[in-house]
Structure 1
Amino acid sequence: MSARPPGPPLTALPGLLRKLAVDRLGMVRDAAALGDAVRVAMGPRKLYVFNRPEYAKHVLADNAGNYHKGIGLVQARRVLGDGLLTSEGDLWRAQRRNVQPAFRPARITAQAGAVAEEAARLVASLGAREGEGPVDVLREVTGLTLGVLGRTLLDTDLDPYDSIAHAFEAVQDQAMFDMVTQGLVPSWLPLRTQRRFRAARRELTRVVDALVADRSSRLRDGDGADDALARMILAARGHADPRTGRRLLRDELVTLLLAGHETTASTLGWALHLLAAHPRVRDLVREEARGVLGDRVPEADDLHKLTYTTQVVQEAMRLYPPVWVLPRVARRADEVGGYAVSAGADVLVCPYTLHRHPEFWDDPERFDPGRFDASRSSSRPRYAYIPFGGGPRFCVGSSLGMMEAVFVTALVTRDLDLSAAAGHEAVAEPMLSLRMRGGLPMTVRTVR
């Protein structure tokens, strides 16, 4: 007979539930401190937190069909609808098959020039602001990731749509509010969070409709276009129900806009923050970038030569995984690592805590890019490190995201010194992604 995972002592339960509202990272860390499998009762609902690689593999890969998207992402459906992040079953499989060719390795390799150009543009923009005082580097890299997204996946210039990032902040705020309140607060109440969300949803609808209209005007059936937006538009045109096709197109594009820029911007923000705090590592990245690139921008083949820079990005995603938690709901009763999981239960696999598990990571709180050297990582379980998820829902954009993060980290570090603004503390804010609260103000100095 399967055992039931242990729960927190009754005296600890109120604190855990309070942290769900005000300190979600504290809640998952407290849960992980109780054990690798923990069961928390939230009224009639049950929450299971699993924190071992083999448990993560079971939920995300081995028995993935039994687990649908859970808390947080369910609430995000108010704006994401049935996009790739939130859809399930046959609809999700059809959407994934349709966009997958836009992410095939040969096509991503061909986008290296566009990524490098956007990275160089970021460096020039930051360099031009030397001596101005603190610059919000997170805002700057968010603009970069939107530029890369537009050029590589949408065949569209997203510069005129700088409202996207602000709109998605409001969307994430509302999703977390709905998660904490379990959706019990009526959406029509004139609360500030809900007013901002409604305005953001209107703005995203406006942007998406404009992007679709522009791309559609340049798209003809059979013209060989292989960008993600073109494939979405052609799929919508071929849908048996035109109205449903248009709705799904909007949902998929909103999801791509969010997932395609938010996670990479978060990774870059944390990587540049960590490099500023660790000058020795920064100097090694600069030395590698100069040795590999000289004075030029990166090319596709350089990605495999920037090995230490890649390790820095991997380590940034270990400490601050852009997708910090993978929520699921068990469709049927299951057994995970010998522990019984009831049907309908909420299940959390948390990369944030898994990436800090002391059994699999030496000195886990320390920033140490060398831990991703092959000589030190070959024996590590595959699911001890899951910044892009795992199983069939492994992030479709992982290769593009890594290229972008490595190229930008290399170019920025080669040409600029970024220093944390005096008095600023980088605080992780766990929303749909693990973003930085209040941005990343830094001073800029050009490296002569």
Structure 2
Amino acid sequence: MSTLTSGPPRKGLRPPGPGRQHALSLLWRMNKNRIEVIAEAAKLYGDATRIPLGPKTLYLFNHPDHAKYVLADNPLNFHKGIGLQHARKVIGDGLLTSEGDRWKSQRKTIQPVFNAKRINAQLGAVADEADNLVKRLRTHIGQGPVDVRSLMTDLTLGVLGRTLLAADLSEYESLGEDFEAVQNQAMFEMMTLNAVPTWTPLPMQNRFRKARRNLMDVVARLSAERRAHPTPDGDDVVSRLIQSTERETDRVRALGSMRDDLMTLLLAGHETTASTLSWAFYLVDKHPEVAERLHKEAVEVLGDGPMSLADLHKLTYTTQVLEEVMRLYPAVWLLPRIAQEEDEIGGYHVPAGADVLICPYTLQRHPDFWEDPDRFDPERFAPGRASGRARYAYIPFGAGPRFCVGNTLGMMEATVVLATVARDLRLSAGPHFEAFGEPMLTLRIRGGLPMTVKAAG
């Protein structure tokens, strides 16, 4: 393991790792299963590891002190890196991928939409969408399996539209498929190191170009609709972005910026929560004792009436379940950075331009900080159990100045939906179904999540 000191470079140790002769085979394996390669490297070489990857070398740091240094203590030296850099080519320069003054301006524009008072006021809309999901699921009782991953995408897009955009996204039927094509393209760009132009007539490229056109159209229509029909208070994201463009003298640049911001929000605003909920339903099904306790809490707290903020705060076990889901399967499974100047992390020298990885997936399974780390155990997050735990051993929403701006809404949404479904229904994937992670921009369940539906109790 590494010595845990960080600071100005002094040409420290070179992190251990596989030799350069393995670079091509590792590149091939990364294309097949990125998480497996990264987890294996952490297990074999410790908290600081070099991973040769084709012409690149990745520097994986896997200790809470490393995460703190890169994300919180010295974030100005570590800009968004591999994967997110390539995502910029397909989703633009939005809040997820931008840096410096551009990022600060975007964050300042969007931050008020996520203040606690406004988010609390969205509980009714979130609960309404959860009730609609239950009604939709009820139609499948006694029928064959339904793809829960797809339903979660529809649900979270519905919540996103109502709570942040003041818009109905249900009329844009291909949104989920379009964002999947965008994610696929971003990962393709990363693994091929941008070597294949997007105009090439490959099937994936064709799907991406069509998806991008569709998404550009959605963004344009949302903007045009809001300009034609302003909301009374103007505190939704679309209104705020329109207001911010009015101050720009370069209209083309301003409209392009608004397009990028909306595109990023549409992708990040639904995909992370959809992923978390999908994994939650899968893991709850695999642990009947958790399912029973969830159901009991939901019945006791929610009853048959509408959900209140007081009810939300009483769903303590539901929250524990979600926190444990996010520990094992964090939607944002990788936080890639690029060192702007040479640095030192944990006693190891990091050259300027190096690709630095902080991986919540491996960090949150680190055996030095989590007992029996691969076991699903919501009791880890029971009151008092976190005492003494390293602060940066658990970072499902990131850390530092780029801590996820939507974490409060995301947790509210996931809690409301999981409790509402657990109160009324039981979803089952069957004893022989095994879910595998698909590490894209988010960590989703590969191939979907087919589950049957029956009444709870």
Q: Shorter-chain TM-score category?
A: over 0.9
- 1:436 to 2:439 alignment: no
Q: Which amino acid is the alignment partner of residue 91 of structure 2?
A: L
Distance 1:10 1:90, change over 3 A: closer
Give the drift of 1:373: 1.3
Match of residue 360 from structure 1: 369
Which residue number corresponds to residue 57 of structure 1?
A: 68
1:390 to 372, 377, 399: 399
**Could you say what secondary structure the match of 2:79 adopts?**
strand
CA distance in 2, matches of 1:320, 1:15: 26
d(CA) in 2 for partners of 1:228, 1:152: 9
Report matched runs for 1:340-351 at 5 Å.
340-351=349-360
1:90 to 89, 96, 101: 101
In the other structure, the counterpart of 1:31 is 41
* SS of alignment partner, residue 369 of structure 2: coil
TM-score by structure 2 length?
0.95
CA distance in 1, matches of 2:20, 2:339: 25
The 5-angstrom pairing of residues 223-302 of structure 1 reads 224-302=233-311
Shift of 1:15: 4.2
TM-score under structure 1 length normalisation: 0.97
1:420 and 2:433 are equivalent in the alignment? no
Structure 1 residue 423: deviation in Å? 4.5
List aligned pairs for 1:18-417, cutoff 5 A.
Answer: 18-33=28-43, 34-219=45-230, 224-417=233-426
SS at match of 1:316: helix
Structure 2: runs of 5 or more not aligned: 1-9
Q: Is the 8 A contact 1:40 1:47 kept in 2?
A: yes
Instruction: Indicate whether 1:4 and 2:24 are aligned.
Output: no
4+ runs of 1 displaced by more than 4 Å? 9-15
Residues 276, 331 of structure 2: 8 Å contact kept: yes
Q: Judge conservation of contact 1:113–1:300 (CA < 8 Å) in 2.
A: no
Matched with 2:5 is none
Letter in structure 2 aligned against 1:21: N
CA apart distance, 1:43: 4.9
Distance 1:216 1:29 in 2: 48
| Greater CA drift, 422-431 or 210-219 | 422-431
Larger mean Cα displacement after TM superposition, 134-143 or 422-431: 422-431
1:370 deviation in Å? 0.4
- Contact kept in structure 1, 2:66 and 2:346, CA below 8 Å: yes
Paired letter, 1:196 = R
Q: What amino acid is aligned across from residue 187 of structure 1 in structure 2?
A: T
1:9 Cα deviation from its structure 2 partner: 4.6
Q: What residue identity is the alignment partner of 2:263?
A: V
For the residue of structure 2 that corresponds to 1:321, the secondary structure is: coil
Q: Residue 303 of structure 1: CA displacement?
A: 2.1
Distance 1:385 1:15 in 2: 31
2 CA distance for matches of 1:240 and 1:391?
Answer: 32
Determine the C-alpha separation between the residues in 2 that align with 1:375 and 1:70: 36
Identity %: 57
Q: Distance in 2 between matches of 1:331 and 1:284?
A: 49
Q: Over aligned residue pairs, what C-alpha RMSD do you find?
A: 1.4
Residue by residue, what CA displacement relative to the aligned partner does 1:177-202 show, whole Å, maximum 9, x if unpaired?
A: 11111111222221111111111111
Given that 2:91 and 2:182 are in contact with CA atoms closer than 8 Å, whether structure 1 keeps it comes out as no
* Contact kept in structure 2, 1:8 and 1:40, CA below 8 Å: yes
Contact 1:134 1:421 in 2 (8 A): no
Distance 1:12 1:369 in 2: 39
1: CA distance, partners of 2:437 / 2:109 = 34
Shift of 1:305: 0.8
Deviations 1:119-149 (A, max 9, x none): 1110111012211210111111111101110
Moved more, 419-428 or 402-411: 419-428
Deviates more, 1:341-350 or 1:225-234: 225-234
Q: Residue 40 of structure 1: CA displacement?
A: 2.3
Q: What SS does structure 2 have at the residue aligned with 1:375?
A: coil
Counterpart-to-counterpart distance in 2, 1:174 and 1:324: 18
For the Cα contact (< 8 Å) 2:26–2:52, is it kept in 1? no
Distance, in Å, in 2 between the alignment partners of 1:421 and 1:139 is 18
Name structure 1 gaps, 5 residues minimum: none
CA distance in 1, matches of 2:367, 2:193: 33
Q: Give 2:454's aligned amino acid.
A: R
Q: Secondary structure at the match of 1:377?
A: coil
Structure 2: which amino acid aligns with 1:326?
L
Indicate the SS of the match to 1:248. Answer: helix
Q: Which amino acid aligns with 1:236?
A: T
Give the CA deviation at 1:297.
3.4
Q: Secondary structure at the match of 1:414?
A: helix
1:328 is paired with a residue whose SS is strand
1:159-192 Cα shifts (integer Å, max 9, x gaps): 1012111001111111111111111122222111
Give the distance between the partners of 2:355 and 2:456, measured in 1 at CA: 50
CA distance in 2 between counterparts of 1:339 and 1:332 reads 14
SS across alignment from 1:340 = strand
Structure 1 counterpart of 2:311, one-letter code: D
Q: Which amino acid aligns with 2:345?
A: V
| 1:17 to partner: Cα distance | 2.8
